[in-house]
Amino acid sequence: MMMKAAIYNDYGPPEVVHIGEVVKPVPAPNEVLIKIVASTISAGDWRARSLEMPTGFGLIGRLIFGVFRPRNKVLGSELSGIVEAIGSDVTQFSIGDAVIGYPENGCHAQFRTMPEDGAIIRKPESLTFEQAAGLFFGGITALDFLLNFGKITSGETVLINGASGAVGSACVQLAKHFGAEVTGVSSAKNHDLVRSLGADFVIDYADEDFTLGNKTYDIVVDCVGNAPWAKSKHVLNETGRLLLVAGSLGDMLKASFVSKKHGKKLVSGVSMGNRDKLLALMEIVESGAFRPVIDRVFSLENIVEAHAYVDRGHKCGSVVINIAL
Ligand SMILES: NC(=O)c1ccc[n+]([C@@H]2O[C@H](COP(=O)([O-])OP(=O)(O)OC[C@H]3O[C@@H](n4cnc5c(N)ncnc54)[C@H](OP(=O)(O)O)[C@@H]3O)[C@@H](O)[C@H]2O)c1
- For domain 138-268, the CATH architecture is 3-Layer(aba) Sandwich (3.40)
162: Cβ below 6 Å to ligand 1?
A: yes
Q: What does the alpha-carbon distance between residue 229 and residue 55 come to, in Å, rounded to a whole number?
A: 14
Ligand 1 nearest-atom number relative to CA 270: 3
Considering only CA atoms, which of 173, 217, 179 is closest in space to residue 196? Answer: 173
296: Cβ below 6 Å to ligand 1?
A: no
CA dihedral sign of residues 81, 84, 89, 90? positive
CA of 126 to the centre of ligand 1 (A): 27
CA of 10 to the centre of ligand 1 (A): 24
53: Cβ below 6 Å to ligand 1?
A: no
H runs (alpha helix) in 109-212: 129-133, 136-143, 166-177, 191-196
167: Cβ below 6 Å to ligand 1?
A: yes
Q: Are 184 and 178 in contact (CB under 8 A)?
A: no
Q: What does the alpha-carbon distance between residue 125 and residue 97 come to, in Å, rounded to a whole number?
A: 11
Report residue 179 CA to chain centroid gap: 22
248: Cβ below 6 Å to ligand 1?
A: no
Report residue 134 CA to chain centroid gap: 8
Alpha-carbon distance values, 11 to 44, 70, 106, 134, 159 (Å): 13, 7, 16, 24, 34
Return residue ranges of the chain for CATH 3.40.50.720.
138-268
CA dihedral of 292, 159, 249, 257, whole degrees rounded to 10: -130
Please calculate the CA angle 143-145-151 and round it to the nearest 5 degrees. 90
Considering only CA atoms, which of 50, 38, 111, 114 is closest in space to residue 78? Answer: 38
Q: What does the alpha-carbon distance between residue 242 and residue 78 come to, in Å, rounded to a whole number?
A: 27
CA of 24 to the centre of ligand 1 (A): 33
Alpha-carbon distance values, 13 to 16, 54, 199, 312 (Å): 6, 17, 35, 12
CA of 168 to the centre of ligand 1 (A): 7
Q: Are 169 and 179 in contact (CB under 8 A)?
A: no
Question: What is the per-residue pLDDT for 177?
Answer: 98
Q: Are 165 and 315 in contact (CB under 8 A)?
A: yes
Q: What does the alpha-carbon distance between residue 18 and residue 20 come to, in Å, rounded to a whole number?
A: 6
What's the burial of 48, exposed, middle or buried (CB within 10 Å: 0-12/13-18/19+)?
buried
* Tens-binned pLDDT, residue by residue, of the chain (325 aa): 999 999 999 999 999 999 999 999 999 999 999 999 999 999 999 999 999 999 999 999 999 999 999 999 999 999 999 999 999 999 999 999 999 999 999 999 999 999 999 999 999 999 999 999 999 999 999 999 999 999 999 999 999 999 999 999 999 999 999 999 999 999 999 999 999 999 999 999 999 999 999 999 999 999 999 999 999 999 999 999 999 999 999 999 999 888 888 899 999 999 999 999 999 999 999 999 999 999 999 999 999 999 999 999 999 999 999 998 7
What is the enclosing helix (H) or strand (E) of 306?
Answer: helix 303-311
Class of domain 2-135+292-322: alpha beta
CA of 224 to the centre of ligand 1 (A): 4
Return the residue whose CA atom lies nearest to atom 34 of ligand 1.
Answer: 162
Total residues belonging to the chain: 325
3-state class (DSSP) for residue 199? coil
47: Cβ below 6 Å to ligand 1?
A: yes
CA of 93 to the centre of ligand 1 (A): 35
Phi–psi pair at 238, nearest 5 degrees: -55, -35
Return the residue whose CA atom lies nearest to atom 48 of ligand 1.
Answer: 245
CA of 248 to the centre of ligand 1 (A): 14
Q: What does the alpha-carbon distance between residue 297 and residue 320 come to, in Å, rounded to a whole number?
A: 5
Q: Are 196 and 221 in contact (CB under 8 A)?
A: no
The residue whose CB lies within 8 Å of the most ligand 1 atoms, and thus the one to mutate among 314, 316, 318, 319, is: 314
CA of 165 to the centre of ligand 1 (A): 5
194: Cβ below 6 Å to ligand 1?
A: no
Q: Are 42 and 103 in contact (CB under 8 A)?
A: no
148: Cβ below 6 Å to ligand 1?
A: no
